Amino acid sequence: MNLSRQEINAISNLGLAHMGDCVFEILCRGYLCARGGKNVGNLHRDTINMVKATAQAAFMDKLLPHLTEEELSWYRRGKNSHVHAVPKSCTPAEYAKATGLEALFGALYLAGQTDRINELFKLVMEA
């Protein structure tokens, strides 16, 4: 996609997170498949471990120093969203960071910034 900033800003915070949830998960799935040597059950388990809120919050901590001002604003939009329920497996702060990460990846995808998405994902996966 290649939406304008104005079009992206018209999408709700949770709408951006909804899109980013899919984008981030497909990146994780691709990353795990490319590493090879796993059966479907292990791929599924490892994907879930990467996309759960606690992991996404930790990934976001790694990304924050590398974000532009615009990217930070998209992150903050998701982080500050009013969600109705938080999973028992994470804290509200972790869930907020995870929602921010998803909003960031959703906005970047909708803006057509796939190179930047890949760059940020690579930073997340580095030790």
Catalytic residues: 21
Q: CA 57 to CA 98: how far, in whole Å?
A: 5
- DSSP calls for 37-102: ---HHHHHHHHHHHHSHHHHHHHHHHHGGG--HHHHHHHHHHHT---S---TTS-HHHHHHHHHHH
